[in-house]
Amino acid sequence: MSELSAAELLEKVKPLLNRRVGPYKSFNPVSRTQVWQWCTAMGDNNPLYQQDDKVIAPPTMMQMWTMRDAQGNYPEGSSTDNPYEILSIMEEHGYAGVMAVSYDQTFHRYLEEGDQVHHYSTIVNITDEKSTAVGKGFFVTEIAHFLDQNEECFAEATITYFQYQAPKRPAAPKSSSGPMKINRVAPIENYDNEHYWEGLRQGKLLIQRCTSCGTLRHPPQPMCECCQSTEWDTIESTGKGTVYTFTVMHYPEIPPFDYPNAIVLVDLEEGVRLVSQLENCKPEDIEIGMAVEMEIKEVQEGMSLPIFKPAQ
């Protein structure tokens, strides 16, 4: 790895910005076979594309026409310039990882059978070094113009890549047991609260009750805040209540939750409050004071939670 600093590396590649390179040509004209192969692979049955007397390419095939062949070659007549020279230089200097992070595509016209495609590429922007969850690196923005045989632009795209220095970490586990899945963080169950989580697993929402003075309390705690007794039992809640207050999470979208994610503080009819999620309700329809009811759901193996929904 070279000793260039991030700033020096930026200085090195910046002269390469805004250089339009190309053309990168297509091996074959737009054909029924390639449109069919795309549509059958994607399960796209839009009758527009494969008509008896006409073939129209799905617009999202845009980039596919000028992809290199299985040997990694562009067709004859294509530019020999590396369209991603900036990325290659960064790779040589230790920023070996690359991922596309965003696409913005505008489609001007459909391609039809017989059209012949080529494209030009320009790297238009590179950011300062940024730190992200995958490592440190640079966001690099490319603008690509896709042209037909008449030099008319049928589509254009702005694509942003992240070229990064991956932190050293052990290789991914091999032959993993199924796909990776992100789960909710499991609660820490202990002597003072295990009755609550176990109750949920058995389909009951249990509220602690002081057996000395009868006061209900939630969340679970070892001592009654009214009479300091440590003697308690539980009652089963009906799960009915009203929304005391709420907030709706929009961003960032943290898996495994669905978004927008409505979090409610519910006044249970027994008289204690509980934080949970509200489902089956659009965020704009949530109101303070609205009646809600609970359903205990096994959200993942071994974890059941009381999830609320508007009262029927």
Partner 1 sequence: MSEIKNVYASQISVGDELPVFVLDLTPRVIVSCAIASQDFQDVHHDKAAAEEKGTPDIFMNILSTNGFVGRYLTDWAGPGSRIKNIKFNLGAPNFPGDTMTMTGTVQEINDDNGEHLATVEFKGKNGMGNHVSGSAILQLAKEGE
Nearer to partner 1, 171 or 185 (CB): 171
Residue 158: CB minimum distance to partner 1, A: 8
Residue 115: CB minimum distance to partner 1, A: 16
Nearer to partner 1, 44 or 293 (CB): 44
Residue ranges that bind partner 1, judged by CB under 8 A = 34, 37-38, 40-48, 58-65, 67-70, 72, 99-107, 110, 166, 169, 171-174, 176, 178-182, 253-256, 258, 282
Residue 143: CB minimum distance to partner 1, A: 13
Nearer to partner 1, 51 or 211 (CB): 51
Nearer to partner 1, 64 or 153 (CB): 64
Residue 75: CB minimum distance to partner 1, A: 12
Nearer to partner 1, 69 or 151 (CB): 69
Residue 114: CB minimum distance to partner 1, A: 18
Nearer to partner 1, 176 or 190 (CB): 176
Nearer to partner 1, 3 or 282 (CB): 282
What is the chain written as a DSSP string? -----HHHHHHHHGGGTT-EEEEEE-SS---HHHHHHHHHHHT---TTTB-SS-BB--GGGGGGGG---TTSPPPTTS--S-TTHHHHHHHHTT--EEEEEEEEEEE-S--BTT---EEEEEEEEEPPPEEETTEEEEEEEEEEEEE-TTS-EEEEEEEEEEEEEPPP-PPPPSS-SSS----PPPPPP-TTTHHHHHHHHTT--EEEEETTT--EESS--SS-TTT----EEEEE---EEEEEEEEEE-SS--TTS-SSEEEEEEEETTS-EEEEEE-SS-GGG--TT-EEEEEEEEEETTEEEEEEEE--
The Cα 240–Cα 271 span in angstroms is 11
Residue 232: CB minimum distance to partner 1, A: 39
Residue 169: CB minimum distance to partner 1, A: 8
